[in-house]
Structure 1
Amino acid sequence: MKFISWNVNGLRAILKKDFMSVFAEQDADFFCLQETKLQEGQVNLNLPGYVQYWNYADKKGYSGTAIFAKVPAIRAIYGINNETLDHEGRVITLEYPTFFLVTCYTPNSQTKLKRLSFRLEWETAFLAYLQALDSQKPVILCGDLNVAHKKIDLKNWRTNQHNAGFSAEERQKMSTLLAAGFTDSFRYLHPDETGIYSWWSYRFHARDNNAGWRIDYFITSNILQDKIVTAAILTHIYGSDHCPILLEAAL
């Protein structure tokens, strides 16, 4: 099975670029989006052969996720069953006979980490949610998780140690997630590869200089490790400040 995940940073904007060409070219079984930034009815996508699942933020033009799936899910779950945290359209879960697929747009801790406390509350609740799923059947998690886990995962780690996405607290939460029985698929197949990133600031010609961060992930339950065939970051695809990421798994 082929999975694609992409933070599109505004679906309406990227539809004016090459989104549909990328979508058709990738021909994925599951195409997951984060940061769609729209409300129900603001786009009408014609995607023959796909079932569309959408989760919208209460706030207009903010956050939001979607999954386009060739195979209809047994059921879809929107959010993480947390009334406090489920107002920003950040998670969709699709249940299939042998696995759960979860797409997530993790909250950003923002400038000077002013939203770090919310982020940490989210991380604790989200991990509990994933563990509850994993107790039933294996999980494939994808999305913009808004953290570069290790120094190898961003270009300028020294100057970003106290910034959103590379704070000690956020990195520890990722370590805790992986220690709970989950695998970072890209690092599983490419443990030492450097200079491969999935997000670049729009400032300072960051993408031209490859001054990026790897903050988009496919994470699987450990039991699926031997099913991971390909885990790649599609740096040649433009249209957003993120590029798509790919997982191929023998499921």
Structure 2
Amino acid sequence: MKLVSWNVNGIRACVGKGFLDYFKEVDADIFCIQESKLQAGQIELELEGYYQYWNYAERKGYSGTAVFTKKQPLSVHYGVGEATDEPEGRIITLEYESFYLVNVYTPNSKRDLARLEERLVWEDTLRDYLVELDQKKPVIYCGDLNVAHEEIDLKNPKSNLKNSGFTQEERGKMTTLLQSGFVDSFRYLYPNREDVYTWWSYMNKVRERNIGWRIDYFITSNRISGLIKDAQAHCEVMGSDHCPVLLDIDLTV
């Protein structure tokens, strides 16, 4: 089974930059997007053979997630646990026979870290939710998680130690999650691979020089880690300031 996750930074803009070409070429069983930046009725995506599930933010042109899947899930849930009020459209959970898929766009702590405390509460709540799901079925958790976990996951770790996405607090929450029964699929296969990133600033020639961060992930329950066949970052794919990431795993929907 092939899964893709991509922060498209505005699906309408990304469609104008080749999204559909990549979508058709990669031919994923499940394709997740983050930061769709639209409301219902603002785009009609013709994705033949796919069911579409959208979680829109209340604020116009902000946040939002979606999942496109070849097989209809058993259930779809928006938000965390019993909560259905999720105004920023950041979480979609699809239940299949053998696993849960959780697609997430994690809040950014902001340049001045004004949202850090809120972000840390978010991390605790989401971890509890993932652990609860994992007690029922294995979990595949993906998306733009807005954190570079280790120094190897960004180009300039020393100069970013106190910056959003690389604070000790955010990195610690990722460590705690992984210690709770989960594995980062890319690092599981490639623990020492350097210079693989999924996000680059729009500043001049930053992407060209590969000065980036790896903040987009596929994380799975430990008990299905042995089924992971490959994990990739398609760094060559343009259309957003993020690139798509792919998980190939020996599961069926």
* TM-score, structure 2 as length reference: 0.97
For residue 192 of structure 1, what is the aligned residue in structure 2? 192
Report the Cα offset of residue 81 of structure 1: 3.4
For residue 210 of structure 1, what is the aligned residue in structure 2? 210
8 Å contact kept, 1:229–1:248: yes
For residue 61 of structure 2, what is the aligned residue in structure 1? 61
8 Å contact kept, 1:85–1:122: no
Please list every run of at least 4 consecutive aligned residues from structure 1 whose deviation after the TM superposition is greater than 2 angstroms: 81-85
8 Å contact kept, 1:139–1:221: yes
For residue 165 of structure 1, what is the aligned residue in structure 2? 165
8 Å contact kept, 2:8–2:14: yes
Measure, in 1, the Cα distance between the counterparts of 2:60 and 2:125.
24
8 Å contact kept, 1:198–1:212: yes
Matched residue of 1:236: which SS?
coil
Q: How does 1:1-251 map to 2 (within 5 A)?
A: 1-81=1-81, 83=83, 86-251=86-251
Report the Cα offset of residue 204 of structure 1: 3.4
Measure, in 1, the Cα distance between the counterparts of 2:74 and 2:82.
22
**Letter matched to residue 105 of structure 1:** Y
Q: 1:6-35 CA deviation, whole Å, 9 max, x = no partner?
A: 000000111111000000000000000000
Q: 1:111-133 CA deviation, whole Å, 9 max, x = no partner?
A: 11110011011001000110110
C-alpha distance 107-84 of structure 1, shift in aligned 2 (>3 A): farther
Report the Cα offset of residue 82 of structure 1: 6.5
Measure, in 1, the Cα distance between the counterparts of 2:230 and 2:84.
36
**Letter matched to residue 42 of structure 2:** Q
Report the Cα offset of residue 152 of structure 1: 0.2
C-alpha distance 208-96 of structure 1, shift in aligned 2 (>3 A): same
**Letter matched to residue 109 of structure 1:** S
Measure, in 1, the Cα distance between the counterparts of 2:81 and 2:220.
21
For structure 1, the 5+ residue unaligned runs are: none
8 Å contact kept, 2:78–2:84: no
Matched residue of 1:86: which SS?
coil
Q: How many residues align?
A: 251
Measure, in 1, the Cα distance between the counterparts of 2:110 and 2:26.
32
8 Å contact kept, 2:138–2:223: yes
Matched residue of 1:126: which SS?
helix
**Letter matched to residue 194 of structure 2:** T
C-alpha distance 125-136 of structure 1, shift in aligned 2 (>3 A): same
**Letter matched to residue 219 of structure 2:** I
Matched residue of 2:53: which SS?
strand
Measure, in 2, the Cα distance between the counterparts of 1:37 and 1:71.
25
**Letter matched to residue 242 of structure 1:** H
**Letter matched to residue 237 of structure 1:** V
Measure, in 1, the Cα distance between the counterparts of 2:31 and 2:182.
21
**Letter matched to residue 162 of structure 2:** H
8 Å contact kept, 2:155–2:213: yes
C-alpha distance 84-54 of structure 1, shift in aligned 2 (>3 A): closer
8 Å contact kept, 2:17–2:238: no
Measure, in 1, the Cα distance between the counterparts of 2:84 and 2:138.
26
For structure 2, the 5+ residue unaligned runs are: none
